[in-house]
Amino acid sequence: MAQGLKVLNAVLPQDVKLETKEYDLGAQRWHRTGDTLPDAELEALRNHDAILLGAIGDPSVPSGVLERGLLLKLRFAFDHFINLRPSKLFPNTATPLAGRPDIDFVVVREGTEGPYTGNGGSLRTGTPAEVATEVSVNTAYGVERVVRDAFERAAARPRKKLTLVHKNNVLVYAGHLWKNTFDRVAAEYPQVSTDYLHVDAATIFFVTQPERFDVIVTDNLFGDILTDLAAAVTGGIGLAASGNINPTGAFPSMFEPVHGSAPDIAGQGKADPTATILSVALLLRHLGYDTEAARIEDAVSADLAERDGVTRTTDEIGDALAVRVAS
């Protein structure tokens, strides 16, 4: 986070006055107080232009507490229906794929519906007769807005290609809603070429032919899975940035690395801050600072292209990028 703010400060024009406020949320706070995100802080966050979220999560906190109580609470409270996750194979990064395919696509993951709504429950919990359910909720309202956003993004890119990923041969109700909405909106974008893939088949193409993808639109859970895989094939989640976006501007959008918090190496100066720094670029682009966003992305590219294999500390990477974006 410190490196992200360092680069943000370095890239902004002199006349832009940046005001930042830090909120102490996450595992340590929960251990100290039992709170994850009290209403007062949620309300306070609402008044910011944007949120930069540090990676959260810690094995010492029961699974689900911080995820549902903090991260998902923010995504749902601020109606972040676009979860934007670009995937690009930067120069010199070690992809596990042979032959270094040319990867440059973006996943538009729905962020407020699907199996993430918390619907479901458990009956006779802990007994041999337990039944536990999870309900994926999909609305025409929710699907149409993310599909439209994805078409807009595809139309603005050189290749103008949009792929819908779902599993409509099994999840027939949600699948029909997604596919019908997609096909209907597609008629308004004749310049965008489209196709459809089942999520299982999509994972195959992610490793055998990732260059086939330009923009992908998909549901919350499939997007979660595919973007980790995408991060892996583009050289690891140390580089994967994401935006939780409400394009209407009604709420602040939130930017975060795709990766978790790695508490085992906290404070050792080993963590790669690049994903956070690239998240700052997404934040800037969202707020209209396109030139500054591009400067950060170009700096990361150039920095990786020129790196000599020497391992650098968290600080050194942040410093190097801050110098590049400032000059």
Residue 120 sits at φ, ψ, to 5 deg, of 130, -175
Pick from 4, 7, 9, 43: which is nearest to 23 by CA? Answer: 43
Residue 97 in the binding site for a second copy (CB under 8 A): yes
Q: Which residue is nearest to ligand IPM (CB)?
A: 67
Catalytic residue list contains 116: yes
List the structure tokens of 102. 């040319």
Q: Is residue 58 near ligand IPM by the rule CB under 6 A?
A: no
Q: Is 59 in the site for a second copy (CB under 8 A)?
A: no
Closest CB to a second copy among 128 and 267?
128
Taking the complex as a whole, how short is the minimal distance between the CB of residue 258 and a second copy, in angstroms? 9
- Spatial CB neighbours of 291, under 8 Å, sequence gap ≥ 6: none
Which residue's CB is nearer to ligand IPM, number 113 or number 224? Answer: 224
Structure tokens at 313: 């500390």
228 is known as an active-site residue: yes
Residues of this chain, 227-266, that bind a second copy according to CB under 8 A:
227-229, 231-233, 236-237
Contact 163, 213 (CB under 8 A): yes
Which one of ligand IPM, a second copy, none interacts with residue 148, CB within 5 to 8 A by kind?
none
| Residue with smaller CB distance to a second copy, 221 or 245 | 221
Smallest separation (angstroms) from a second copy to the CB of 23 = 21
Check if the beta carbon of residue 123 is closer than 8 Å to that of residue 130: yes
Q: Which is nearer to ligand IPM, 71 or 150 (CB)?
A: 71
| Given 221, 275, 277, 282, the residue binding a second copy (CB under 8 A) | 221
- 162: which 2 tokens? 């949009």
Segment 9-48, which members bind a second copy (CB under 8 A)? none
Strand order in 241-245's β-sheet?
50-52, 253-257, 241-245, 82-88, 104-110, 215-218, 161-166, 193-198
Site for a second copy (CB under 8 A): which residue of 136, 193, 301, 313? 136
With contact defined as beta carbons under 8 Å apart, do 59 and 94 qualify? no
Catalytic residues: 116, 167, 200, 224, 228
